[in-house]
Amino acid sequence: MLPYLLGLAFLFSSSISYSHPVIYKDGTMIASQNMQMFSDNQINYSFHQKWATGLNLWRFNRDNGETAQFGLVRLNHLLKRWNSDDSQANIYLSTGAGVAESNFEHKGTKAGFLGGAEADWETRTLFTSLKFYQFSAPKLVDVSISQARIGFSPYEAEFDKLQTWVMLQAMYMPQVEKNVVVTPLLRFFYNNVLWEIGSSLRSEWFLNFMVHI
What would the pLDDT profile of 106-121 be if each residue is shown by its tens digit?
999 999 999 999 999 9
Of 132, 114, 194, the C-alpha closest to 162 is 194
CA angle 185, 203, 70 (to 5 degrees): 75
Q: How confident is the model at residue 207 (pLDDT cuts 50, 70, 90)?
A: very high
Q: What is the pLDDT of residue 18?
A: 56
DSSP 168-213: EEEEEETTTEEEEEEEEEEEEEETTEEEEEEE-TTS-EEEEEEEE-
Q: How confident is the model at residue 142 (pLDDT cuts 50, 70, 90)?
A: very high
Residue 12 has pLDDT above 80, yes or no: no
Average pLDDT, the chain: 90
Percent of the chain with pLDDT over 70: 92
CA angle 96, 129, 150 (to 5 degrees): 145
Distances (CA, A) of 152 to 35, 135, 194, 207: 22, 30, 16, 19
Q: How confident is the model at residue 85 (pLDDT cuts 50, 70, 90)?
A: confident
